[in-house]
Amino acid sequence: MEKVTMYSTAVCPYCLMAERLLTKKGVKDIHKIRVDLDPERREEMMLKTRRRTVPQIFVGETHVGGFDDLAALDQAGGLDRLLGLV
Note the pLDDT tens digit of each residue in 39-72. Answer: 999 999 999 999 999 999 999 999 999 999 999 9
Query: Do 52 and 46 meet the contact criterion of CB atoms below 8 Å apart?
Result: yes
26: left (phi over 0), alpha (psi -120 to 50) or beta: left
What's this model's pTM, rounded to 2 decimal places?
0.93
Residue 61 has φ and ψ, to the nearest 5°, of: -95, 0
Res 86: pLDDT? 76
Checking if the pLDDT of 1 tops 80, the result is no
Structural domains of the chain sorted by starting position, each given as residue range(s) with its CATH number in brackets: 4-83 (3.40.30.10)
